[in-house]
Amino acid sequence: MTLSQQWVEIERGLPTAWADARLALSVPDAQQAIRATALLASLQPGRSGDTIRFTTARRGAGFGPEHVRKLLRKLDAEKIRGRLSLVSAGEPVPEPELSRATFAGEWEAALAVLPPDWSDLYAEIELVSSDWLEKAALLMGPVNPARFGGTPGFRFRVASSAGYGASSGMTRRCLERLDEAGIHGELRILRVLSDSRHVATQGPVWYVGGKAV
């Protein structure tokens, strides 16, 4: 059963006069959990391990059940698998403190699955809101961020030890600055090379859309 279908079943079982519902989405795959959190960003989800929690309200402040359904369909379209369950409905109840996804955390998670001899990579961050573009560009300045397409975000290069691109440490610090500023979004590694040899050059050149990056 898809996630959107699971939500339909949960919604049918809610009390007639329900005001709000707190939901928990369990996504066993770590990378899919990161992506699911980004797609659900407008709900301000909290993630702890493989569990993502968020709330929907029928009226007033917050996003309604139809908005939840649309977002879950996006997860279905990307073949994200998981189990959606109802935590509570109606009166607020205390919830455990959850850690929200951060750019720095996503960076560490991405590095953990790269080959140990990686030498060069090309990455991008996609922001939840275009309102953060100017501030994010300033905070990401040391990694030489570049805009791409119409997506609110930036692409940049990172070098493990030498060559063209920011260092891994500098990249992490720039991402921490985004987190400290309350800027949210998703980090993706687009291309990776291992054990590249920089002979009389500053490193490899990738061509994206006919342009060297």
Using CA atoms, how far apart are residues 91 and 106, in angstroms rounded to an integer?
Answer: 34
Query: Mean pLDDT, to the nearest integer, of 26-48?
Result: 92
Give the model confidence (pLDDT) of 87-125 as tens digits. 988 754 444 544 557 999 999 999 988 888 898 999 999
Using CA atoms, how far apart are residues 182 and 22, in angstroms rounded to an integer?
Answer: 23
Give the model confidence (pLDDT) of 63-96 as tens digits. 789 999 999 999 999 999 999 999 988 754 444 5
Q: What is the pLDDT of residue 62?
A: 58
Q: What is the pLDDT of residue 126?
A: 94
Percent of the chain topping pLDDT 90: 59
For residues 109 and 50, is the Cβ–Cβ distance under 8 A?
A: no
Percent of the chain topping pLDDT 70: 86
Using CA atoms, how far apart are residues 146 and 156, in angstroms rounded to an integer?
Answer: 6
Q: Which neighbouring-strand residues pair with 46?
A: 53
Task: Just give the CATH number of 103-212.
Answer: 3.30.70
Q: What is the pLDDT of residue 203?
A: 65
Using CA atoms, how far apart are residues 46 and 24, in angstroms rounded to an integer?
Answer: 10
Pick the CATH number of 3-89 from 1.10.3470, 3.30.70, 3.30.1490, 3.40.1620: 3.30.70
pTM above 0.75, yes or no: no
Give the model confidence (pLDDT) of 152-204 as tens digits. 999 999 998 777 789 999 999 999 999 999 999 999 999 988 876 665 566 66
Q: Does this chain's domain 3-89 share its CATH topology with 103-212?
A: yes
Using CA atoms, how far apart are residues 170 and 57, in angstroms rounded to an integer?
Answer: 41
Domain ranges of the chain: 3-89, 103-212
Q: What is the pLDDT of residue 95?
A: 47
Q: What is the pLDDT of residue 213?
A: 67
Among residues 28, 36, 122, which one has the least CA distance to residue 73? 36
Q: What is the pLDDT of residue 44?
A: 87
